[in-house]
Amino acid sequence: MSLPPLSHDELIRYARHLALPHVGVEGQRRLKGARVAIVGAGGLGSPAALYLAAAGVGTIGLVDCDVVDISNLQRQVLHGTDAAGRSKLESARARLRDLNPHVAVETFDTRLSSADALDVLGRFDVVVDGSDNFPTRYLVNDACVLLGKPDVYGAIFRFDGQVAVFDARRGPCYRCLYAEPPPPELVPSCAEGGVLGVLPGIVGSIQGMEAIKLLLGIGEPLVGRLLLVDGLATRFRELTVRKDPECPVCGPNPTVTRLIDYGEFCGYPAPGSGSRDDAEISAGDLVAARARDPELLLVDVRAPVEREIARLAGATHVPLGELAARLSELDGHREVVTYCHRGVRSLRAAEILRAAGFSRVRSLRGGIDAWAREVEPGMARY
């Protein structure tokens, strides 16, 4: 495969790369001819995209379907205040074009799924996983294994981060490290658990560096190694990850030979399955239900720190992890509506209550975030 030439402007722009013995003109031309997909234009995708574009990676593919929210700007440095309310893809494309007009940006306005992952990711040489949920991480991993592509993984939570390169052709995959996903109710999002804004900058930058090393074929990539970042202690540790001979995706006898339903695999409700009247209630309908039945019991299953930000008046607070042990505190004869931040944990709480004999239980669809958007616009959101 012939490598694209460098223009006069590119020779000047990449002068510090050209001086590196591991890069030089040929390496820079290799970067120009390369294609990297970034799943998620958020906290991790922002620094990765910025540094890959600055480095001269010829084509960057961005996969996202979200819009910029003011709460994103504490860490998602691809976007600015003026981009609030705009598509993250539009905002990112404009920023990357300004940073380096020599780079092509391909955008995919989609929530990556089993239906399109192979088609989208199959167009690129390296995949950088900047997603923030387990279904997408397993999806990206499995797609990369099936496609024979390296998956540059990153994850963050509060003050801690992880980075690894999963390349099943020469090492373990993500499933070799995490064979089973954790229960969804035990996995708070960044919005629920918080994240130090600079942390994704560190982790995403390392992901960008790993992608560049893979494209150039230099150094020692994080294959078979999990890098742990402790932001509070400013400490880096490394764990060895070995290939699992029983891995259902990259093992010698795989049982997962096509992409599956990753929401179901990770225990998340299927789209539309929670819309039944006996499972969920909308924010608007909850207003009417409370007016109709003053005895309706609201149960807030969020963490205490979340209640300090916003709460619904009159709600009883029982964190999800304590719910099973505190059932006696709740009146099983009353109609009950559980709620959390966005409706995932409250669905689990409703299941626990129904299993304990509570006959009239529903979960607030979209959680308190939906209530703030639809009922109380002045309520603080997080």
> Active-site residues: which are they?
190, 340
Q: Which residues of 291-321 are buried (b: 16+ CB within 10 A; e: fewer)?
A: eeeeebbbbbbbbeebeeebbbeebeebbbe
Determine contact, residues 120/110, Cβ cutoff 8 Å: yes
Measured CA to CA, the distance from residue 63 to residue 51 in angstroms comes to 17
Determine contact, residues 211/151, Cβ cutoff 8 Å: no
In three-state form (DSSP H/G/I as H, E/B as E, the rest C), the secondary structure along 164-218 is EEECCCCCCCHHHHCCCCCCHHHCCCHHHHCECCCHHHHHHHHHHHHHHHHHHCC
Measured CA to CA, the distance from residue 97 to residue 57 in angstroms comes to 12
> In Å, how far from its chain's centre is CA 338?
25
> What is the helix (H) or strand (E) element at residue 25, kind and residue range?
helix 24-32
Cα R_g (the chain), whole angstroms: 23
Count Cβ atoms below 10 Å from residue 130 Cβ, excluding itself.
Answer: 31
Count Cβ atoms below 10 Å from residue 270 Cβ, excluding itself.
Answer: 9
Determine contact, residues 39/45, Cβ cutoff 8 Å: yes
Provide the sign of the torsion angle of the four alpha carbons 324, 330, 334, 336, taken in this order. negative
Provide the token pair at 274: 């929670």
Q: Count CA within 13 A, CB hemisphere, residue 10.
A: 20
Measured CA to CA, the distance from residue 44 to residue 328 in angstroms comes to 43
